[in-house]
Structure 1
């Protein structure tokens, strides 16, 4: 992954939109942009994923629209939006609109979905893991086609971050469509998955070295350590740490920023 090795390291923070007031989310976003974080993401669910299952929670894309107006530098997106929850052409238009509101700072993070409660309570067909991935592959073609026909067009080629590590279907979709590939991997797993991704790239005629490698870096209250160094050595260049409500602790944010800056010389 020679091109990835030449990329600068970027630091992302996922503000998990649960167990907190929106005012606290807004304040946390401001702190992150002022601190110098590169990317801030939310997630695309309708209920908390841990803690009180019916606790405070906020929707993804209305949040991203507000973030686009609130910020001026940091890139924003979902880690990741669920393809199943919105018509693909509508999602393309939503992404194009947030792209314009933000002056070209949106990343379209997208995946096939997995949280069954979202589906059952909001009336979506859950299907199977395989059928949801097939739907994602079809959706990516529709999204790109819709972007080509919208007026005005997106401000840039909107980066597409695809999440997941399934070797038969997900990584093939990554090879075909992703600007960024995100996974939760240790170094050994990442090395293996990158080999699989390269094979898919050869099959579809894509140089997968073009794809930025993104990984989860743990919680924002934990400092980077040997695991981050090992992932960096394998080619990971976008590291995303997480923080959750009610208080959104960022105890080790500066340590992560210093680690990023040291890697970038």
Structure 2
């Protein structure tokens, strides 16, 4: 089965080194500039710059974004799978989905930044244990969505970030609507082939899963190469305090041109 999806442009507003007013301003500017999705991330401390700089929490922010925006989808790129009780996280996501009118993308991964775990009292474990926990959590989250009253506004799209070949891609094959992969075209082509093997095991067509990645440097030939591999969601990452969105118009113009060429 061949599925032709429209190209989409996301932006990740990294909630570090800024006041919330600056984040809110960037959110509204991004929506006005025509992006399709606005993400934050689920960390408790900055990942770049001053390690003790300003920082805000992910899911309370998403609740505010659900009210502050009208059109864009919103979500975390990505939620740390080990930070919260999975059933509670499912309920949080369902609630944000309702606040937004059905615009939530549920991004989740295994977690990797040890300071987040140590400072907040979570067990960091090992990469293997964190990915096993992710699989257990996804089973509970998807089951809880079926039991909540009221249910989500729509079947909430699950985005899984990562490229671990034995565990992460197995979770992608079983649960994901969107796979956020890392690396250049060669790496992604190899991992996509491995994902297809995992999909075959569970009886799923890998073309059902939307492909997502970080937007390459503007003007790089990698954008077209990734598009040729089936990637259709490109996300630009920007940090505070200034949240420079100057590259967005070029990406939006590229999106619209390519979608027109594809008859979308």
Q: TM-score range by the shorter chain?
A: over 0.9
- String of CA shifts for 1:21-51, please: whole Å, max 9, x gaps: 1000000000011111000000000000010
Distance 2:182 2:256 in 1: 22
Show the 5 A alignment for 1:145-164. Answer: 145-164=143-162
Structure 1 unmatched ranges of 5 or more: none
Runs of 4+ in 1 over 3 A off after TM superposition: none
> Paired residues, what number?
260
- Preserved CA contact (<8 Å) 2:30 2:245: no
Structure 2 unmatched ranges of 5 or more: none
Answering whether residue 9 of structure 2 is matched by residue 14 of structure 1, we say: no
Matched with 2:45 is 47
TM-score by length of 2: 0.97
Residue aligned with 2:142, SS: helix
Matched with 1:254 is 249
Distance 2:182 2:254 in 1: 19
Task: Choose from 217, 228, 231 the match for 2:226.
Answer: 231
Show the 5 A alignment for 1:59-208. Answer: 59-208=57-206
Distance 1:16 1:164 in 2: 18
TM-score by length of 1: 0.97
Distance 2:12 2:226 in 1: 19
Q: For residue 223 of structure 1, report the CA deviation from its aligned partner.
A: 2.1
Matched with 1:241 is 236
Distance 1:144 1:106 in 2: 14
Q: For residue 58 of structure 1, report the CA deviation from its aligned partner.
A: 0.3
Matched with 2:213 is 215
Q: For residue 205 of structure 1, report the CA deviation from its aligned partner.
A: 1.1
Q: For residue 224 of structure 1, report the CA deviation from its aligned partner.
A: 3.9
Q: CA RMSD in A?
A: 0.9
- String of CA shifts for 1:124-147, please: whole Å, max 9, x gaps: 000000000001111111001111
Distance 1:50 1:130 in 2: 26
